[in-house]
Amino acid sequence: MRMNDLTKNLLLWVVVAVVLMVVFQSFSPRMAGGVGADSITYTQFLKEVDSGRVKSVDYTDETNLAVNAIRFKRTDGSEATVYGPRDDKLVDVLYSKNIEMTRQKPSTGPGFWSLVLNFLPVILIIGFWLFIMRQMQGGGGGAKGAMSFGKSRAKLQGEDQIKITFADVAGCDEAKEEVGELVDFLRDPTKFTKLGGKIPRGVLMVGPPGTGKTLLAKAIAGEAKVPFFSISGSDFVEMFVGVGASRVRDMFEQAKKHAPCIIFIDEIDAVGRHRGAGLGGGHDEREQTLNQLLVEMDGFEGGEGVIVIAATNRPDVLDPALLRPGRFDRQVVVGLPDVKGREQILRVHMRKLPLADDVVPMVIARGTPGFSGADLANLCNEAALFAARGSEKEVRMDHFDRARDKILMGAERRSMAMSEDEKTLTAYHEAGHAIVGRLVPEHDPVYKVTIIPRGRALGVTMYLPEGDRYSMNRVAIESQLCSLYGGRVAEELIFGGDKVTTGASNDIERATKMARNMVTKWGLSDELGPVAYGEEEDEVFLGRSVTQHKNVSDETARKIDEVVRSILDKAYSKTKTILTENLDKLHAMSQLLLQYETIDVPQIDAIMEGREPPPPAGWGKSDKDGGNNNDKGSPRPLPPIAGPAEQL
């Protein structure tokens, strides 16, 4: 609609400009009677007078002009126009030739069109300037124009426009209970005010990305049937000074007119960060916006029915004044859903999918620990896409399995050309991860191993937790360190120390970070004890961190490095012992990976138990059917397996 109005105005002004140009050409004597088909030169005119071909002459004697326009008629009836200098002898020549002359009365002053033509350039410039100004103001003060930068950018949705309710929000029952009384207040405020109660003026929703904070805010407005203002924290501050504070004032003024209503500020950490986080006043504009927000939230009178809901996944960076009672005095944690919550979310997203009979939401929920609501929505969408590629009429369980593998491990890159030597090295690398992960205690079960390049990795060993885990003990952490070193140790044992590759770079980086956290954050080292060393590295604020001093001495830092190194050396040595004692299983699993490229739990269990591994499920089917199209003839002979492995 906005672009249509702009196009119409632009076309209107183009038409006006064209009309004025036509008028200018029509009334300009030089344009109208210029050199053309009915014009001749002054010399030709004099020759025709001498030859007697001119019958009559009509001219205007303008005393204030150096050039006269002469209109004459020939003896053959044709007419022509000539422009010539003021020549007093011309009249005598015409009398001598008995040519009829008509002299027009000279004009007494400039006429209307003459004035218009003289001022036409100025009129066009003023008109164009007015047109540009009107467009910049958004057609008379709209919120989209460049000159309306002081207006609020909040989008208003009426009570009838929001169709989302609590029935569309799943997996966060506690959060819905917390905000349920907001709905009751918006529906019937007197229920609280007559007993002296006050509804929270601000509610801050805290949680990881994709957990449904924005969806829950819309559901509150949809349940209460009230207007809903939505804006992002980045929409306040721009290049002009004072814009942010002006937009905050305008937003609350609009909200008061539509009360009771909800103001939702998404990603409030963009404007609500801790003040004093900059050096030299570089963040003064953002701080002014935050100050205005603080004043507005604590300034409007109770009972106006304006509730501010904000969402962030960085509550630790918010200014303390923003979180005090009277402003955002209630924090609602919207965390990652548990297995029951994931099942509820899956059922919501599966409403529009034609599901096969083998699809069980609870099974999918158990296999997706750590997934957020957005991840589960993406899982359902990817499964539907896999079914569509295969021209299926229903979404089957194997489509969800393939979608989960794609999300967790990345998309397959079968077109990537790898040499046989590199494939063999990758197979031993991933087999090392899998075998160590199976043999160390309290480690997540190995779910799938593949040497098909996925994402940016040449191969992937995927672990799938049996349930939701919220904390880890020392044994589980040390087991993870061993499994991370499994690939590097396998390369060293099979190909020698000189042939190890850079494929373990990410494994080494993760292991080093985990070991350092054991020492400096989690207090899991016997040498240094339960002490936190070093400042928090997750959030660094310019202007705050530069004024802090290092709280670890050089001697302590050296000791930390020594303890970290000892933890990693211990894990590396334990990993080498495990793989040395299970070298036959390492060879068997790598050969199986070279044959099938991807193996699952049944094949891994068979190798670890000393049995002949069965082929993977769907082996020999085409990609269209969802299987691996890797059948290249007879399987390679596998080396004998000594016996079942024992846990270390």
Q: Give the annotated binding-site residues for ATP.
A: 207-214
Annotated binding site for Zn(2+): 429, 433, 507
CA distance to 273, 278, 318, 544, per residue, from 281 (Å): 14, 6, 18, 13
3-state DSSP assignment of residue 330: strand
Which tokens in the block code for residue 419? 């040499």
Residue 430 · residue 422 · CB < 8 Å: no
DSSP string of 285-310, one letter each residue: HHHHHHHHHHHHHHHSPTTS-EEEEE
Annotated binding site: 207-214, 429, 433, 507
Which tokens in the block code for residue 548? 């802090």
Residue 491 · residue 500 · CB < 8 Å: yes
3-state DSSP assignment of residue 458: coil
CA distance linking residue 300 with residue 316, whole number of Å: 26
Sheet containing 79-85: give its strands across.
79-85, 67-74, 54-60, 100-104
Residue 308 · residue 202 · CB < 8 Å: yes
Which tokens in the block code for residue 468? 């939701």
| Amino acid of residue 182 | L
Residue 94: its H or E element = helix 89-96
Query: Other C-beta atoms within 10 Å of 577: how many?
Result: 13
Q: Where are the beta strands (DSSP E) in 112-232?
A: 155-157, 202-206, 228-232
Exactly one of 287, 430, 478, 491 is catalytic; name it: 430
* 491 belongs to the catalytic site: no
Query: Rg of the Cα trace of the chain?
Result: 42
DSSP string of 509-553, one letter each residue: HHHHHHHHHHHHTS---TTT-S---S--SS---TTTGGGSPP-S-
Residues acting as catalytic residues = 430
